[in-house]
Amino acid sequence: MMRPVFAWLWGDDTLSDATLKLCLADKSVDAPCSATLPVHRALLAAHSEYFKARLLRWASSGSQGAASFQPSTVVAHFAETGHLPSGLTVSQLAQACKEAKVQDALRCAEACSQALVDLAVEQPEPSQLPTPCLEETFDSQAECDAARLVVRCMYEGELAEEVKDPLTLARVCRVAERWAFPSLSTTCLQKLVDLPPSQLPVQQLVLVLQTLPGSCALLPDHKRWQERVHNLAVELNALLLLLHLCEDVHAVITSAQLRTAFQQLPFAAVQQWAGSDELTVDSENSVVELISLWMAGPEGRVASQTRKQQLSCLVRVQHLSPGLTSLPSHPEAEQLHHAVLTVHCQLIAACPLLHCCKGQLLEGCPQLGAGDDGVDIPVETDDEVVDKLLPLLVLRQQGTAVRQGLQHQHQLLRCQL
């Protein structure tokens, strides 16, 4: 960050050339803004690409308005109505007066001259160009306070010394990311990484993780922060924190530390996790993979069959990819895979267009043998194995029906052509 050479301008409205209003999203129409700050356009634009774009757009619209002014329209308006248009500036009146003299419209020229005198009497000081008023809306007063700290940092060149609370740091980081002020975002994350464990209790850490913007993953210190959080989660054995971290399913699969911690979660925690709408997944298959991992762990091995069935029902089978239809690679996951496929089988069987059932599947055994899923089912298969593989056969039947339907549609299309 830059040296705090402009700190003396913070809060000073003598040389300010813009106003920044920090408002609450749910405020009533008549309620005042949370804060109104006198600011300097050059400083905001130097630190924030967001404000730079807004201010350049404002300057461009202002210059276009000045350039589009035609003094001849003022002369024409006066000739038609007998008076000048309202809201003309000193510069515009001077141009209109000159144009009126060129057109020999002396009454219009005289009116412009009188209007110039009137403006000079009303505004003895030289008139200035209008200044922009930038309004930013936030969901809470705490976010407005964080935004004020971000603006202050632009002037002083560093985060205020008193900002040490982790949740405040997370809010400042969120606003800094919103305003494209990356150096401050990096500073906030560095300060969070360096905080002692005593300042990051479980509840506070969960709030910090929920507040930090997702774009923090692109910052240089994000890996250090992620490692710090994982270590704290394991050290504290914090169930709430672990559940929050496990919402990123890919992160759990790729972290040996989190995989071990996930296997040690109690059944109720895994049930809550599996039913959450907040999971971030590549595909639903990864959810099945993690539940299989839990079943292979100490808590999963002692879980009852009923509980395992309850977990399988939480898998969102409509989002499974075809790779799941292959037989499981390890015995611990076999029951889960079969249970999930059974649920899928029941959903398919309920479809009035397919009416899949065991008798139809076995009639002619068109699904036995090598399939597209890579599983080779021997044609000579006893009833017990067929019962076990029934979900897989249903999925094959579904795939066959879909292919036949597509072929039929293609043939109809060719006939129409």
Choose among 264, 266, 262, 333: nearest CA to 296. 333
Give the N- to C-terminal CA distance of the chain in Å, as an integer.
68
Q: How many whole angstroms separate alpha carbon 172 and alpha carbon 188?
A: 7
Question: Residue 329 corresponds to which amino acid?
Answer: S
Q: How many whole angstroms separate alpha carbon 35 and alpha carbon 141?
A: 10
Give 395's pLDDT tier (boundaries 50, 70, 90). Answer: low
Nearest 5°: the CA angle 5, 9, 12 is: 170
Strand pairing class (133-138; 18-24): parallel
- Per residue in 359-385, pLDDT tens? 444 443 444 444 444 444 444 445 555
Share of the chain above pLDDT 70, in %: 65
H helices, E strands: number in the chain: 20, 5
Q: How many residues in total does the chain contain?
A: 417
Give 144's pLDDT tier (boundaries 50, 70, 90). Answer: very high
- Per residue in 334-343, pLDDT tens? 555 555 555 5
Q: What is the pLDDT of residue 397?
A: 52
Choose among 313, 326, 305: nearest CA to 287. 313
Q: Which fold has domain 246-344?
A: 1.25.40
Question: Which residues, including other chains, have CB under 8 Å from residue 188's CB and lie 6 or more apart?
Answer: 159, 169, 170, 172, 173, 176
- Per residue in 180-190, pLDDT tens? 999 999 999 99
Q: What is the pLDDT of residue 181?
A: 93
Structure tokens at 107: 């009454």
* pLDDT over 90 (residue 206): no
Q: What is the pLDDT of residue 68?
A: 67
Please report, for residues 15, 56, 214, 233, 287, the alpha-carbon distance to residue 219 in angstroms, rounded to integers and kept in the order given.
35, 27, 10, 22, 28
Structure tokens at 158: 């560093």
Give 330's pLDDT tier (boundaries 50, 70, 90). Answer: very low
Strand pairing class (133-138; 35-39): unpaired
Q: What crossing angle do the helices spanning 334-349 and 383-416 adopt, rounded to 10°?
A: 50
Structure tokens at 17: 């050339």
Q: What is the pLDDT of residue 382?
A: 54
Phi and psi for 165 in degrees, rounded to 5? -70, 130
Q: How many whole angstroms separate alpha carbon 181 and alpha carbon 195?
A: 22
Q: Where are the domains of the chain?
A: 1-158, 161-245, 246-344, 351-417
Residue bearing the bigger pLDDT, 325 or 39: 39
Q: How many whole angstroms separate alpha carbon 192 and alpha carbon 166?
A: 6
Q: What is the pLDDT of residue 363?
A: 44
Q: What is the pLDDT of residue 94?
A: 82
CB 393 within 8 A of CB 386: yes
SS3 percent helix, strand, coil of the chain, rounded to 5, is: 65, 5, 30
- Per residue in 9-42, pLDDT tens? 887 777 888 889 998 887 555 555 678 899 988 8
Q: What is the pLDDT of residue 401?
A: 46
Residue bearing the bigger pLDDT, 306 or 348: 306
